[in-house]
Amino acid sequence: MSGTSHPVFSVEGVSKSFGVFNALTDVSLSVRHDEIRAIIGPNGAGKTTFVNIVSGVYRPSKGRVILDGADITGLPPQKRARLGLARTFQIASLFRGMTIAEHMELAVRGRDTDRHERTELLDRMGLSAFADRDVQTLSHGDQRILEMAMAMVLKPKFLLLDEPTAGMSVAETDRMIRLIGDRLRGKVGVIIVEHDMSVVTQTSDQVTVLAAGAVATSGTPDIVLRDPLVKELYLGSAAGH
């Protein structure tokens, strides 16, 4: 089911409530196998709730989550990973005292992958010189790039990037943008949850704007980010992301 036009990932009519509070209401969107979609929205819009629905941390109160034609709504994170859904985390989730190479081993967890391919991936990500270094000695930017390499090593069908540039310097952010453009764009379906608009315009084919738990608008970055409605949503939000 890896056709050219059919979405590799979609959520259909997803709602999530916590008690009487609706954090997400009837959210639908889809991502093609070669498309990067950014999810943006002001504070409290429901972005983190959405990430947890996509990754399987939460089960939606209503609606369906579909990966490459299969209904994965009720599946836990590990089962989603086995079906080809990979993710990175907003906060670096690496293990002190372990090297980059050991993290890559951990990421493949005994599954059938080529050692040579792994080395090549580290090389393409600019990490091969550090392969035997403790991850603690890496810059924050390199740690996040390692997380991305760990997500990519199993050649996922669909990749969820949770604020890939959070906490990065300008130079690190530029490097991450280039890696996303070179290594992911046009090659795999991706959702990027991001608050930095310049990252969105430089990486994404499509943008979905969440506000108060619902899709406010969506479209190409040039149109969506110029939309007065979107500007208004952000002006109304204190921290502006």
Ligand X SMILES: Nc1ncnc2c1ncn2[C@@H]1O[C@H](COP(=O)(O)OP(=O)(O)OP(=O)(O)O)[C@@H](O)[C@H]1O
Task: Write out the residues near Mg ion by the rule CB under 5 A.
Answer: 47-48
State yes or no: residue 126 binds ligand X (CB under 6 A): no
Q: From the CB of 24, what's the least distance to Mg ion, in Å? A: 12
State yes or no: residue 164 binds ligand X (CB under 6 A): no
Tell me the CA distances in angstroms from 195 to 51, 108, 167, 220, one per residue in order: 14, 30, 11, 16
Q: What is the Cα 156 distance to its own chain's centre?
A: 12
By a kind-dependent CB cut-off of 5 to 8 A, residue 85 interacts, out of ligand X, Mg ion, none, with none
Q: From the CB of 215, what's the least distance to ligand X, in Å? A: 13
Q: What share of the chain is helix, strand, coil (3-state, %, to 5)?
A: 35, 25, 35
- Contact assessment for residue 56 and residue 76, using Cβ atoms and an 8 Å cutoff: yes
Binding mask 37-66 for ligand X (x = CB under 6 A): ----x-xxxxxxx-----------------
Q: Which residues pair with 70 in a beta bridge?
A: 67
By a kind-dependent CB cut-off of 5 to 8 A, residue 128 interacts, out of Mg ion, ligand X, none, with none
Q: Which is nearer to ligand X, 142 or 163 (CB)?
A: 163
Q: From the CB of 124, what's the least distance to ligand X, in Å? A: 31
Reported residue count of the chain is 241
State yes or no: residue 217 binds ligand X (CB under 6 A): no
Q: From the CB of 140, what's the least distance to ligand X, in Å? A: 19
- Residue of 208, 169, 173 lying closest to 192 (CA atoms): 208
> Given candidates 8, 11, 14, 23, which one binds ligand X under the rule CB under 6 A?
23
Task: Write out 69-84 in H/E/C secondary structure.
Answer: CEECCCCCHHHHHHCC
The one-letter amino acid at 11: V
Q: From the CB of 17, what's the least distance to ligand X, in Å? A: 9
Residue ranges in contact with ligand X by CB under 6 A: 18, 21, 23, 41, 43-49, 241
